[in-house]
Amino acid sequence: YYSRFLESGIRPDGRKPSERRAAQLRRAAVGSAHGSASARLGLSAAVAGVRAEVTEAVPELPPFGRIAVSVELPPLCSATFRDRHRAQGLSTFLSNALTDIFNDTRVFNPAQLTICEGQCFWVLHTHVICLAFDGNAFDLCLLAALAALEDTALPALCEGAVVPSGARQLVQAPPGTSAPLCEARRPKLASRPLPATFARLPGQCWALDPCAQEEEIGTSVSLCLVAGKWLVFHHGGGAEVERFVGELMPTARASVDSLAELLDGAAPAAAPASASDCDSEAPAG
């Protein structure tokens, strides 16, 4: 079936192998989050929200902030994920891959999340929920998480009530606070990680931005451009895929350039410290 279409240089949905589906992006999609965005690739859609949490430093962990990404693929987004094991496997892969990407020092400097040196810091819990799935969860979820993080505004903090240990809790500073312990801020990414996923179709044809049916046919590979370098994430195929990565680079480069334009043209983020609630339970001092 696919071979007959590909002989004419098109896919069943009318796209060329090097053509991405229509993409849409909207920032500030969730009013209660510190940062949020929704993304759509064709019929695939996801929403991402950032919940900033004050965390106390502990001896066994590095004393600086981080970005923690979790991806949820509920059965309602696709019959594919009624299989719990399949959904869990893909969500774990995506959560780990995106967390690693955003915590790469070429992408993000964790020093921006410090509140009190060596004592407490922000952790940006970035939760991505797939609302509708028709393939290419990697690009979809990374794009939603990226836009949500770029939309994130952290509130100013001040000391609150004394806790039983004798320390003071950190709470969101009321408007007009003259000398907050921690100023409102917008975390900045040093570089944007931009994805390009391909599926290998019959006849040695690699198709950009595969739909769910195309992903079922064969091997997929996701490329991610980080500070001018390509990272490669396999969805199967192993070393065999490596032989083709070089051939995919020109198409991948054009695709990530179009995603960068999409991010630049998305609606501007809300004003700093617009989130009304803040998980700030760590004691100060």
Task: Supply the pLDDT for residue 277.
Answer: 43
- List Cβ neighbours of 211 (8 Å cut-off, separation of 6 or more): 13, 21, 42, 43, 134, 135, 136
Residue count (the chain) = 285
Examine the pLDDT at 249 and tell me if it is beyond 50.
yes
DSSP the chain: -HHHHHTTT--TTS--TTPPPPEEEEE---TTSSEEEEEEETTEEEEEEEEEEEEE--TTS-SS-EEEEEEE--GGG-GGGGSHHHHHHHHHHHHHHHHHHHTSTTTB-GGGGEEETTTEEEEEEEEEEEEE-SS-HHHHHHHHHHHHHHT--BPPEEEEEEPTTS-EEEEEPPTT-SS-SB--B---BSS--EEEEEEEETTTEEEES--HHHHHHS-EEEEEEETTEEEEEESS-THHHHHHHHHHHHHHHHHHHHHHHHHHHSPPPPPTT--S--B--PEE-
What is 2-266+276-284's CATH number?
A: 3.30.230.70
What is the model's pTM?
0.87
CB 29 within 8 Å of CB 38: yes
For the beta sheet containing 229-234, the strands, ordered from the edge strand earlier in sequence to the opposite edge, are 205-208, 194-201, 220-226, 229-234
Q: Are strands 168-172 and 157-162 parallel, antiparallel or unpaired?
A: antiparallel
The pLDDT value recorded for residue 118 is 82
Confidence of residue 229 (pLDDT cuts 50, 70, 90): very high
CA distance 57 to 276: 25
283: pLDDT confidence band, cut at 50, 70 and 90? Answer: very low
Q: Is the pLDDT of residue 241 over 90?
A: no
What mean pLDDT is predicted for residues 129-143?
Answer: 98
pLDDT digits (tens, 9 = 90+) for 27-39: 988 988 999 999 9
Of the chain, the percentage scoring pLDDT greater than 90 comes to 59
Neighbouring CB atoms inside 10 A of 268's CB total 8
276: pLDDT confidence band, cut at 50, 70 and 90?
very low
Contact criterion met (CB below 8 Å) for 107 and 190: yes
Per-residue pLDDT tens over the stretch 76-123 = 999 999 999 999 999 999 999 999 999 999 999 999 999 888 888 999
Domain ranges of the chain: 2-266+276-284
